[in-house]
């Protein structure tokens, strides 16, 4: 199992990177400084 941890993965280049790795079959962990909205961001992966 491959895992990718991405900081700032909820917007911009970080989000694009998260989507690319998720589509390639990786388990993606998103890290965001604020708690608000992370669950919604993760559902798009």
C-alpha 15/C-alpha 17 separation (Å) is 5
C-alpha 17/C-alpha 39 separation (Å) is 17
pLDDT at 35: 64
Structural domains of the chain, count? 1
Ranges of residues in the chain with a pLDDT under 50 are none
pLDDT at 22: 93
In the chain, what is the greatest distance between 2 CA atoms, to the nearest angstrom? 28
pLDDT at 17: 92
Owning domain of residue 19: 3-43
pLDDT at 40: 59
How far CA 23 is from CA of 5, 35, 36, in Å, comes to 15, 24, 24
pTM confidence score: 0.68
Cβ atoms 19, 41 nearer than 8 A: no
- Partners of residue 31 on adjacent β-strands: 7
């Amino acid at each position: 199992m491959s895992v990718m941890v991405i900081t700032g993965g909820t917007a911009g280049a970080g989000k694009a990177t998260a989507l690319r790795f998720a589509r390639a079959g990786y388990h993606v962990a998103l890290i965001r400084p604020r708690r608000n909205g992370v669950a919604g961001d993760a559902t798009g992966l």
